[in-house]
Amino acid sequence: MQTIIISTFPVFQARSEKLLLFLEEPELTLHPGMQRKLLDAYCNFDNIQVFITTHSNHFLDLTLDFNNLCSIFSFEKASDKEFQIKNVTPNKEVLDLLGVRSSSVFLSNCVIWVEGITDRLYIRKFLELYNDTLESVIKYDEDKHYSIVEYGGGNITHFNFDDKSSEGTTINVQSIAKNNFIIADNDGKKYKETTVNKNDAKAMRLKEFSENLGGNFFAEQIEIENLIPYIIYKKYFKNLPVSQNRQWEFTDKECDEAKFLKDIQDMKIGKVLRKYFISPKDDVVDSGSFNKNDISCIGNKKDIAMKLIDVIEKEHISFDQLPAITQELTRRLYEFIKGNNN
């Protein structure tokens, strides 16, 4: 409190005139929470320019929240008589200059774990659509406030998300990130049943995650593509140019969105698409990739994801047009991120 009073007194004393204020290493006598309040106080006065010297990576981290009001310069001794001065942003070079170890800084405050790259692309877009509905000026940025990490499907068994477990063959996630949210495809497994087949490894794994992680676990969808609404698939197929290389064609067999929403909760996405949108061409045998039950029945997963997201953007799809289950997941993710960035 003494440091806060001393550091802000000149600002109030000179509030009616221009002021240059110089502070040397204020972090030495300030709790990290008070460091933020100090920067916030300075940023509320437009008649002052403040120069702060610091060796604190925490102070550098705080400046990210005031990045339109703060400039950062590094001073590195180039010789006995000279210093090299650089205008920099907080990066690995600055952390190395301060002698900061990786264990003293988190790359982001929380981590969302997903199966693969397509999950990451969709989740990023869902959060973006939800952000557009919020009146709050606070926007949470990926790789700063949160990160989305791919665990690679079945490779999730290599990670230990339960810090109470004593398994020595798995990677303890708590040593990587403190706050974790897992999204997994359930592949039609009824893992929430009172009794789960103990011989079904995936169902047992999902049940265990659900019990251990509670609200930080989500596996309500068969596959990530089952979270995409009817209107996006319809627009995608309807606007596809005719291709001689494609083994199927758009047929728009059924147009009942309510039936689609029901089916997409219980059926693999490949079956749903064949039921509502596509059929094999007359000269093509109904076999091969067309019969796959995942999204690869119509093409490369990543390519399809990027094209569906392009439809969302071009058609100006809003958050309230997403299925209820997708909205639920997105809200839970937002609250998870918000709760770990107070």
> For position 122, what pLDDT does the model report?
95
**Model confidence over 122-168: pLDDT tens digits?**
999 999 999 999 987 778 888 778 888 888 877 777 777 765 555 56
Tell me whether strands 19-24 and 48-53 are parallel, antiparallel or unpaired: parallel
> For position 58, what pLDDT does the model report?
74
Band (99; pLDDT cuts 50, 70, 90)? low
Are 173 and 160 within 8 A, CB to CB? yes
**Model confidence over 318-341: pLDDT tens digits?**
999 999 999 999 999 999 999 988
Compute the average pLDDT of residues 166-186. Answer: 76
Are 75 and 83 within 8 A, CB to CB? yes
Whether the per-residue pLDDT at 52 is higher than 50: the answer is yes
- Three-state DSSP at 32 gives helix
**Model confidence over 64-90: pLDDT tens digits?**
667 678 888 888 888 888 988 888 765
Are 218 and 180 within 8 A, CB to CB? no
CA atoms within 13 A on the CB side of 204: 6
Higher-confidence position of 267 and 206? 267
**Model confidence over 188-233: pLDDT tens digits?**
877 777 677 777 778 888 888 888 888 899 999 999 999 999 999 9
Higher-confidence position of 294 and 165? 294
> For position 103, what pLDDT does the model report?
46
Single-letter amino acid code for the residue at 36 = R
Q: Round to whole Å and give the CA distance between 147 and 337.
A: 10
Q: What is the DSSP letter of 77?
A: E
Alpha-carbon dihedral 278, 284, 287, 292, rounded to 10 degrees: -30
- What mean pLDDT is reported for the chain? 83
% of the chain exceeding 90 in pLDDT: 33
If we measure between CA atoms, which residue out of 282, 271, 273, 228 comes closest to residue 253? 273
Band (106; pLDDT cuts 50, 70, 90)? very low
**Model confidence over 237-252: pLDDT tens digits?**
988 887 767 778 888 7
> For position 199, what pLDDT does the model report?
75
If we measure between CA atoms, which residue out of 290, 304, 270, 294 comes closest to residue 117? 304
Whether the per-residue pLDDT at 96 is higher than 80: the answer is no
CA distances from 212 to 46, 123, 234, 342 (A): 50, 23, 38, 24
> For position 191, what pLDDT does the model report?
75
**Model confidence over 226-237: pLDDT tens digits?**
999 999 999 999
Are 30 and 60 within 8 A, CB to CB? no
Are 8 and 48 within 8 A, CB to CB? no
> For position 158, what pLDDT does the model report?
76
> For position 93, what pLDDT does the model report?
65
| The pTM of the whole model exceeds 0.85 | no
